[in-house]
Amino acid sequence: MPQTVITFYTRKRCPLCEKAKKLILELQEEWNFTLEEFDIDESDELTELYGIMIPVVHINGEEVSFGIINKIDISNRLQEKTQNF
């Protein structure tokens, strides 16, 4: 079964990002996934894409949440994604 990948777009000094990362790390204790984290301020392209949306969460390349991240929503999406493999 392919590994599930959560991609997390964030930036420094972002309280919503800090809360979202905590939730993602909690989910990682329950679900088997790889976490990739990108600071959008290190890329003009990412800043242009996600500047006012962060934090942004992708699962296996699909954007599933942004702004206020909800743990239950992400958990449900992880369940959907793992069932689709």
Tell me the per-residue pLDDT of 15-53, one tens digit each, with 9 for 90 and over: 999 999 999 999 999 999 999 999 999 999 999 999 999
Q: Please, which residues have CB within 8 angstroms of residue 8's CB and are 6 or more apart in sequence?
A: 20, 21, 24, 35, 36, 37, 38, 55, 56, 57, 58
Q: What is the pTM for the complete model shown?
A: 0.91
Q: What is the pLDDT of residue 30?
A: 93
Q: What is the pLDDT of residue 84?
A: 63
Burial of 62 (0-12, 13-18, 19+ CB in 10 A): exposed
